[in-house]
Amino acid sequence: MENQNDINFRRITRAIEYIYTHFREQPHLDRIASEVNLSPFHFQRMFSEWAGVGPKKFLQYITVEYAKKMLKEHNATLLDTTVETGLSGTSRLHDLFIHIEGMTPGEYKNGGENLMIHYRFAESPFGTILIASTPKGICHLAFADDKILGLDTLKENFPKADFRHKSESIHQHALSFFERNRKEFLPVKLHVKGTGFQLKIWEALLKIPKGHLSTYGEIAAFVRQPKASRAVGSAIGDNPVAFLIPCHRVILSSGIIGHYHWGNARKTAMIGWEAVQTTR
């Protein structure tokens, strides 16, 4: 049975899709509320509880102009600026607390044989998620609008692993990254399977500050593969750990949001939600 959190987020994503499509018209609250079959009062309250600001304010964070503004604010690329400053002071972000450990070639080739994977479902501001871990760290985090399909996908990624529905402390550590306005984060280790190139791209994504955006071209330049934007896009799309490895912070150079594995409305919601947390 669908829980209330998923029902509310589905309404929010519908509203965000509408806002993003019609932002040039600056739609009023009544008009947006009618699109999700809610009264303006109830929609305002539900949206504010989710985002921490009202839909009118949120609109400012998710327009194409906002994305372009974020990208044009830096003379250097965003990633270069991040590395040079060390994310000091208020810009020090939780991404640096995440450490990636690639699976060994043997683990990569044998589909997780001899690996014990513990998993659980949990709620996030962006809908139900499936999170899983090995003894070395988080190996999977994905949005699971359909829990059965979500679990099937996890098992397809590790066809020879042993699975157990069990909550681990590392799961809770990872889930803390979804908490609004949280300042301190416990270290989280990631244990993911990928090629050397993919791991390099995912490590680059971790350097994009919360509330900021980068482009596929910038990521390619950062890993010294300036002509490999297409390969970079594929590696970003293969990210096995949603949100923690922030592939949602990469957009097209035109400022358009671009494709997202778990839905463009969800990607837009993440960008706006994070912008709200870092600019208020």
**What pLDDT was estimated at residue 143?**
96
Active site residue 247: yes
Strands 250-251 and 214-215: parallel
Shared domain for 80 and 43, answered yes or no, is no
Tens-level pLDDT at each residue, the chain (280 residues): 667 778 888 889 999 888 888 877 888 899 999 999 999 999 999 999 998 889 888 888 877 777 777 776 655 555 555 554 443 333 444 445 678 888 877 776 777 788 899 999 999 999 999 999 999 999 999 999 999 999 999 999 999 999 999 999 999 999 998 987 766 666 789 999 888 899 999 999 988 888 888 889 889 988 888 888 889 999 999 999 999 999 999 998 887 888 898 998 899 999 989 888 776 5
Shared domain for 47 and 76, answered yes or no, is no
Shared domain for 41 and 159, answered yes or no, is no
Shared domain for 79 and 52, answered yes or no, is no
Question: How many domains are there within the chain?
Answer: 2
Shared domain for 123 and 18, answered yes or no, is no
Contact by Cβ (8 Å): 130, 242: no
Residues 145-189 have pLDDT tens digits of 999 999 999 999 999 999 999 999 999 999 998 987 766 666 789
Radius of gyration, alpha carbons of the chain: 19
Residues 215-232 have pLDDT tens digits of 898 899 888 888 888 899
Beta carbons within 8 Å of 11's beta carbon, 6+ residues apart: 36, 38, 43, 46
Which listed residue (170, 247, 251, 269) is catalytic? Answer: 247
Domain membership of residue 218 as a residue range:
69-279
Shared domain for 214 and 79, answered yes or no, is yes
